[in-house]
Amino acid sequence: MELANRQLAEVLAAGAALAAILLVMSRHRRRRSEAKAILAGVRSMISDDPDAAIEALSSAARLGTPQALDTYLAMGALFRRNGDLSRAIRLHRNMLVSGHLDPARRGEVELELAQDYRRSGMLAEAAELLAPRAATEREAAEALREVRADQGLWREAAALQAALPGPGSARLRSHLLAAAARAELVAGHAGPARATADEAVQADGECADARLARAEALAVAGEAERALDDVVEALQLQPGNALLAGPALERVTEPARALARIEPLVEDRTDDAALWLLRARLLHRVGRRRVALEAAGEALRLDRTGEVTLALRDLLRRSETPTPNEPEELGARHALTMEALRRKAEPPGCVRCGAEASAREWRCRSCGRFDVFG
């Protein structure tokens, strides 16, 4: 009896071992099939055959592998990063209609497709995908905020940001409200622009962008001194953005008063090329054109980044040419123009995405971030 029990135990153990071996072999075959399908998709992607890649990865998806979905997403991100937006859109659309997508990850794919749409300029389509999720998903709300900003719907973008607490949230909302105020000024709505600019300063009193936006609104309302208070405060808060104070100073209808407020800043920061250029612009407006050319020359001499050189080239191109009966000024202007053209000047670049801009701006038009031009 004992012998029979021992034999039975040995048979059961052998059967269990055989079953384990068969299970491992089955899993191994399955993994090999999955790996082959994914590898085929990657190879097709590398060989510039997206249709074959999608077909191969679809085979992997039918096997139910999370690796296939991750590979899909990686491939779509690669297409978008390389500017191949039509392929990225097609890939992500196919994922959504394939019938094999895990419902728990559908939102992830929709977010990727919305990014494709945004980069392609299909802003309405991007917003349509993001809006239903924005109330409950932070990532979707952030993406929708950027779409609304791209659409010029700054107020809506600011409202979305107000519901997104965290480090830097107040500063970002302040930037968005400042942009909204400027848009209202352009549309001729001076009163609402003033209120929106006040709101921008309240959101973050140390945001130079908000101060300058309010300065523009105050100048339009005829409150020159208060406008200049904001300009000076902005130049002290973020000296590196001094070139962006130009539009606010241009709106001040009393250039002599503005010059009197800028002169002390230049005396304190005698090596600041941007401040020298602001001074030159104001000197030109008050009629001291020869002195303005000298100040512009000093700005050019002090320029270390090339931004002031580019701004000066633009100003010289747009400003009126001296009349022939002003030969001295005409000669000085010509000399300054030649020096500005000879100098090497690279356009400012976004420190986040590397995109170049013709001039410094508060927001990068490529990645949508603020305060990124170093």
**CA neighbor of 157 nearest in space, from 168, 166, 146, 167:** 146
Question: Which distant-in-sequence residues (6+ apart) come within 8 Å of 45 by Cβ?
Answer: 53, 75, 78
- The per-residue pLDDT for range 329-346, each reduced to its tens digit, is 788 888 888 998 999 888
> What pLDDT does residue 105 have?
87
What's the confidence (pLDDT) of residue 1? Answer: 52
User: What length does the chain have?
Assistant: 374
Q: Is the pLDDT of residue 68 over 70?
A: yes
- Tell me which architecture the domain covering 255-343 has in CATH: Alpha Horseshoe (1.25)
pTM, whole model, 2 decimals?
0.81
Rg (CA), the chain: 31
- Residues 251-267: what's their mean pLDDT? 97
Contact 117, 125 (CB under 8 A): yes
DSSP 368: -
**pLDDT over 50 at 11, yes or no:** no
Which CATH number does the domain 167-253 belong to among 2.40.50.100, 1.25.40.10, 1.10.240.10, 1.10.132.20? 1.25.40.10
What do you get for the CA distance between the two ends of the chain, in Å? 88
Q: Which CATH code of 1.25.40.10, 1.20.1440.130, 3.70.10.10, 2.40.30.10 fits the domain covering 32-143? A: 1.25.40.10
pLDDT in tens, 86-134: 999 998 998 888 777 888 889 999 999 999 999 999 999 999 999 999 9
For the residues 5-27, what does the mean pLDDT come to? 42
- Average pLDDT, integer, range 260-268: 97
Which amino acid is it at 246? G
- Structure tokens of 240? 């590196």
Q: Which two tokens stand for residue 180?
A: 């909204």
29-43 pLDDT per residue, tens: 444 555 555 555 555
- Residue 140 scores a pLDDT above 80: yes
Cβ–Cβ contacts within 10 Å for residue 324, how many?
Answer: 7
Of 9-18, 146-155, 184-193, 256-265, where does mean pLDDT reach its minimum?
A: 9-18
